Amino acid sequence: MNFSHEEIFSMYGQFDKFVSIEFAYNSEEYQKFGFRLMGTFLFTLEERVELEKLLQNKDIPRTDRKIKFKPSRIAELTNDQKTNLDKDGIQASSIETISTLNTPKYNRFLESGTKEIQNTVNIKAPSFDGWKGLNQFRFGFLHSRHSKGQAFSPRETIQYWAFRIHYNHSLEEQDYKNYLEFANDELKQQVRLEELRLKYQELTINEEEIKEFVKLVIDEIQYKNQIIDVEINRSTERINTVAENYGEEIESLKKICKEYDERVIAFGEKIVFLEFERFVHIYARHVAETQVGERFAIKSVFQYKFEDIIRVIKLVIESINKEIQAHFKDTPEASFRRMGKRSVYFDGHYYRIEIESTGSLKDFHPYNDERVVKDIVE
């Protein structure tokens, strides 16, 4: 046996190294996957904690166990082969050689404190001629997708009809007539708010419309405040003392949440989106700076800054988007879940994910945080 389970973790796994592995001729893995695979070794949270503690011992055993593996995106594998690697893995004794680049080694799992997202590349956004140019670009993007019959998130639907009305675009078409006939009053009011927002941005709004716009904006703010207050009420048994004990946290929570609007997290046949209500839930319960109330004592928290949380969510969801799309294609009415030993590993954290059949991201949070690390190193 060239490599044991423990040695693979010690040399490559704990550092999330991208590796190229070659299998022993005629081994089971050779039969299943061919001579070579490239990718990264995967370990469940329980396995990683166990191995991190084991490496602190003087005498480390050499065992032959299956190790899960995430193949490179360019690997030509079937869905069944990818599923087999993710659920069952590779027998350590089947590996003949392992090679990797001689790059710095970082154990992100054991890092404490606020983290920065690694390997960030800043791309300069295209410039627009004020709000008018930007809005025309946004409408063009939505209209192109609509023309191809691609799905919208709920907020994109609102924005699309607002753009159509604002630009007086194809209002004689049947799809617009269907919108007028079948849309309920709540949807029409949301579309009207977006239409007035466009006029306000482009300085084409009149005095009467400003009054209407202000009223609708106030209604929107009140709705958001209600959602936030409900989440705060859920967070503590002693709500009467919250304002006194958690004043700064509440204000921070409200400020961040009121500025948020639904966003698309991943594109595809199934659009994955994060609604306002679920955003508040995730922020209130799993971001350290906004945790309010005694019920948060057992909640795991993100180790990223406020502005990085959405980016982390997008990166994690996009890393398994093909799996998500395949799930909803095969079982469109069933929710997508990755949790427990199937939780998604990314940058030192294990994430629990649940996406409803509508595409709404219902739950997303890390399993592990600094408390797990502290238990290992002490």
At 153-202, the pLDDT tens digits run: 999 999 999 999 999 999 999 999 999 999 999 999 999 999 999 999 99
The Cα–Cα gap between 63 and 60 comes to: 9
Q: List C-alpha distances in Å: 85 to 19, 28, 249, 325, 332.
A: 15, 13, 43, 19, 25
43 φ, ψ to 5°? -135, 140
If we measure between CA atoms, which residue out of 44, 94, 41 comes closest to residue 72?
Answer: 41
pLDDT, residue 13, reads 94
- Cα–Cα dist 327/318, whole Å: 14
- pTM listed for this prediction: 0.82
Lowest mean pLDDT among 164-168, 203-207, 210-214, 280-284: 280-284
| Residue 106 in tokens | 């970082």
- pLDDT for residue 290: 42
pLDDT at 11 over 50: yes
pLDDT digits (tens, 9 = 90+) for 246-300: 566 667 667 777 888 999 999 999 999 999 999 888 877 665 444 444 444 445 5
Residues of the chain with pLDDT > 70: what percent? Answer: 82
- The structure tokens 């997508």 sit at 336
Cβ-Cβ contacts under 8 Å for 82 (sequence gap 6 or more): 71
Is 323 a residue whose pLDDT tops 60? yes
Position 335 pLDDT exceeds 50 = yes
Task: State how far the Cα of 41 lies from the Cα of 3, in Å rounded to an integer.
Answer: 13
Q: Are 7 and 39 in contact (CB under 8 A)?
A: no
Tell me the average pLDDT across 318-332. Answer: 94
**Regarding beta strands 18-23 and 95-100, do their DSSP bridges make them parallel or antiparallel, or are they unpaired?**
antiparallel
Q: Which residue has the higher pLDDT, 200 or 312?
A: 200
**Do the beta carbons of residue 43 and residue 56 sit within 8 Å?**
no
Per-chain mean pLDDT for the chain: 86
For 101-129, write each residue's pLDDT tens digit: 988 888 888 887 666 776 665 666 566 67
374 pLDDT tier (thresholds 50, 70, 90): low
pLDDT of residue 61 exceeding 80, the answer is yes
User: Angle at which helices 321-330 and 306-319 pack, to 10 degrees?
Assistant: 60
Supply the pLDDT for residue 240: 47
- Residue 370: partners with Cβ closer than 8 Å, 6 or more residues away: 112, 113, 303
